[in-house]
Amino acid sequence: AGGTNQNGQTPNGQAPNGQNGGPAGGPTGEGGRTGAGGGGMGGLLNGAEVGSEAKKLLETDADAYTWAAAAIGSQNAASYQLGTGAPVMAIGGFNGTDPSPTLAQFKKYVADGRIHYFIGGGAGGGMGGDSGSASQITSWVEDNFKEVTVGSATFYDLTSPTA
Protein backbone atom coordinates (compact mmCIF):
# COMPACT_ATOMS: atom_id res chain seq x y z
CA ALA A 1 0.00 0.00 0.00
CA GLY A 2 1.04 3.60 -0.23
CA GLY A 3 3.08 5.10 -3.00
CA THR A 4 1.77 6.86 -6.05
CA ASN A 5 -0.19 5.82 -9.12
CA GLN A 6 1.00 6.08 -12.74
CA ASN A 7 0.13 9.80 -12.77
CA GLY A 8 2.34 10.48 -9.74
CA GLN A 9 -0.66 11.06 -7.46
CA THR A 10 -1.34 9.45 -4.10
CA PRO A 11 -4.33 7.09 -4.36
CA ASN A 12 -7.28 8.00 -2.16
CA GLY A 13 -7.12 6.51 1.29
CA GLN A 14 -3.40 5.68 1.10
CA ALA A 15 -0.37 7.39 2.58
CA PRO A 16 2.41 8.60 0.26
CA ASN A 17 5.72 6.67 0.10
CA GLY A 18 7.68 6.88 3.32
CA GLN A 19 4.63 7.67 5.45
CA ASN A 20 2.87 4.90 7.26
CA GLY A 21 -0.28 6.80 8.18
CA GLY A 22 -0.24 5.42 11.72
CA PRO A 23 -2.56 6.65 14.43
CA ALA A 24 -2.11 9.98 16.17
CA GLY A 25 0.55 10.11 18.84
CA GLY A 26 3.41 8.70 16.77
CA PRO A 27 4.15 6.28 13.97
CA THR A 28 2.96 3.32 16.02
CA GLY A 29 0.41 5.15 18.10
CA GLU A 30 2.76 5.36 21.08
CA GLY A 31 2.70 8.45 23.22
CA GLY A 32 -0.93 9.17 22.45
CA ARG A 33 -3.26 10.78 24.94
CA THR A 34 -4.44 8.52 27.72
CA GLY A 35 -7.04 8.80 30.44
CA ALA A 36 -10.65 9.87 30.36
CA GLY A 37 -10.04 13.14 28.55
CA GLY A 38 -11.70 16.43 29.20
CA GLY A 39 -15.01 17.79 28.07
CA GLY A 40 -15.34 18.74 24.47
CA MET A 41 -17.29 21.18 22.42
CA GLY A 42 -21.05 20.98 22.27
CA GLY A 43 -22.75 18.67 19.82
CA LEU A 44 -22.13 18.51 16.11
CA LEU A 45 -20.15 21.61 15.03
CA ASN A 46 -20.90 23.13 18.42
CA GLY A 47 -24.61 22.50 18.00
CA ALA A 48 -26.91 21.46 20.81
CA GLU A 49 -26.30 18.50 23.08
CA VAL A 50 -29.47 16.42 22.98
CA GLY A 51 -30.39 15.20 26.44
CA SER A 52 -32.63 12.23 27.18
CA GLU A 53 -35.62 14.45 28.05
CA ALA A 54 -35.37 16.35 24.74
CA LYS A 55 -34.90 13.10 22.86
CA LYS A 56 -38.02 11.59 24.43
CA LEU A 57 -40.05 14.73 23.68
CA LEU A 58 -39.03 14.82 20.00
CA GLU A 59 -39.48 11.10 19.45
CA THR A 60 -43.04 11.10 20.82
CA ASP A 61 -45.44 10.95 17.86
CA ALA A 62 -42.65 12.03 15.49
CA ASP A 63 -44.11 9.88 12.71
CA ALA A 64 -47.28 12.00 12.72
CA TYR A 65 -45.37 15.05 11.45
CA THR A 66 -43.24 15.94 8.45
CA TRP A 67 -40.78 17.48 10.94
CA ALA A 68 -40.66 16.58 14.63
CA ALA A 69 -39.23 20.05 15.21
CA ALA A 70 -37.77 23.13 13.60
CA ALA A 71 -34.57 24.81 14.78
CA ILE A 72 -32.54 27.82 13.71
CA GLY A 73 -29.53 26.80 11.60
CA SER A 74 -28.60 23.45 10.13
CA GLN A 75 -25.91 22.81 12.76
CA ASN A 76 -28.50 23.01 15.51
CA ALA A 77 -31.14 21.08 13.56
CA ALA A 78 -28.61 18.36 12.69
CA SER A 79 -27.73 17.83 16.35
CA TYR A 80 -31.37 17.16 17.19
CA GLN A 81 -31.99 15.05 14.09
CA LEU A 82 -28.91 12.90 14.64
CA GLY A 83 -29.67 12.63 18.35
CA THR A 84 -33.22 11.40 17.80
CA GLY A 85 -33.46 10.01 14.28
CA ALA A 86 -36.52 12.23 13.78
CA PRO A 87 -36.60 14.84 10.98
CA VAL A 88 -35.83 18.40 12.10
CA MET A 89 -36.29 21.45 9.85
CA ALA A 90 -33.29 23.77 9.61
CA ILE A 91 -34.56 27.35 9.51
CA GLY A 92 -32.25 29.78 7.77
CA GLY A 93 -29.76 27.32 6.32
CA PHE A 94 -26.30 26.69 7.76
CA ASN A 95 -26.15 29.49 10.30
CA GLY A 96 -29.71 30.78 10.35
CA THR A 97 -29.32 33.76 8.01
CA ASP A 98 -30.82 32.42 4.77
CA PRO A 99 -34.42 33.54 4.08
CA SER A 100 -35.81 30.02 4.03
CA PRO A 101 -38.48 29.28 4.91
CA THR A 102 -40.25 32.61 4.94
CA LEU A 103 -42.56 33.45 7.83
CA ALA A 104 -45.56 32.87 5.54
CA GLN A 105 -44.27 29.42 4.52
CA PHE A 106 -43.56 28.50 8.14
CA LYS A 107 -47.03 29.62 9.25
CA LYS A 108 -48.55 27.39 6.54
CA TYR A 109 -46.50 24.38 7.69
CA VAL A 110 -47.73 24.98 11.25
CA ALA A 111 -51.36 25.48 10.15
CA ASP A 112 -51.15 22.24 8.16
CA GLY A 113 -49.88 20.36 11.25
CA ARG A 114 -46.55 19.48 9.67
CA ILE A 115 -44.21 20.62 12.51
CA HIS A 116 -44.60 19.59 16.15
CA TYR A 117 -42.04 21.72 18.02
CA PHE A 118 -39.94 24.82 17.55
CA ILE A 119 -36.64 24.70 19.43
CA GLY A 120 -35.85 28.17 20.73
CA GLY A 121 -32.93 29.75 22.56
CA GLY A 122 -30.68 28.29 25.19
CA ALA A 123 -27.85 25.94 24.37
CA GLY A 124 -27.48 25.67 20.64
CA GLY A 125 -30.48 27.92 20.06
CA GLY A 126 -29.10 28.97 16.72
CA MET A 127 -26.45 31.30 15.45
CA GLY A 128 -26.93 34.39 13.40
CA GLY A 129 -30.69 34.10 13.55
CA ASP A 130 -31.20 37.70 14.66
CA SER A 131 -32.23 39.05 11.26
CA GLY A 132 -34.59 38.08 8.49
CA SER A 133 -36.87 35.06 8.38
CA ALA A 134 -35.36 33.26 11.37
CA SER A 135 -35.95 36.26 13.61
CA GLN A 136 -39.50 36.75 12.30
CA ILE A 137 -40.31 33.08 12.81
CA THR A 138 -38.83 33.08 16.30
CA SER A 139 -40.83 36.15 17.34
CA TRP A 140 -44.06 34.74 15.91
CA VAL A 141 -43.58 31.40 17.68
CA GLU A 142 -42.67 33.04 21.01
CA ASP A 143 -45.77 35.25 20.82
CA ASN A 144 -48.22 32.50 19.88
CA PHE A 145 -47.27 29.12 21.35
CA LYS A 146 -46.80 27.50 24.74
CA GLU A 147 -43.23 26.94 25.83
CA VAL A 148 -41.56 24.28 27.93
CA THR A 149 -37.95 24.33 29.08
CA VAL A 150 -36.12 21.08 28.37
CA GLY A 151 -32.57 21.09 29.72
CA SER A 152 -31.15 24.43 28.63
CA ALA A 153 -33.37 24.81 25.55
CA THR A 154 -36.88 26.16 25.16
CA PHE A 155 -39.31 24.08 23.14
CA TYR A 156 -42.56 25.54 21.78
CA ASP A 157 -45.39 23.13 21.06
CA LEU A 158 -46.71 24.27 17.68
CA THR A 159 -49.88 22.27 18.29
CA SER A 160 -50.72 24.33 21.42
CA PRO A 161 -51.37 28.00 20.65
CA THR A 162 -51.47 30.35 23.62
CA ALA A 163 -54.67 32.06 22.45
- For residues 59 and 84, the answer to whether their CB atoms sit within 8 Å is yes
Edge to edge, what strands does the sheet with 88-91 contain? 88-91, 67-72, 115-122, 153-161, 145-150
d(CA 90, CA 77): 5
Sequence-ordered list of residues with C-beta below 8 angstroms from that of 43, at least 6 positions apart, any chain: 49, 50, 79, 82, 83, 124
Residue ranges in the chain assigned as alpha helix (H): 52-59, 74-84, 103-111, 132-144
Per-residue pLDDT of the chain (163 residues; tens, 9 = 90+): 455 556 555 555 555 555 554 444 434 444 433 333 333 334 444 556 789 999 999 999 999 999 999 999 999 999 999 999 999 999 998 888 899 999 999 999 999 999 999 999 744 444 444 558 999 999 999 999 999 999 889 999 999 999 7
| Whole-prediction pTM | 0.67
Beta strands in 5-111 (DSSP E): 67-72, 88-91
- For residues 23 and 29, the answer to whether their CB atoms sit within 8 Å is yes
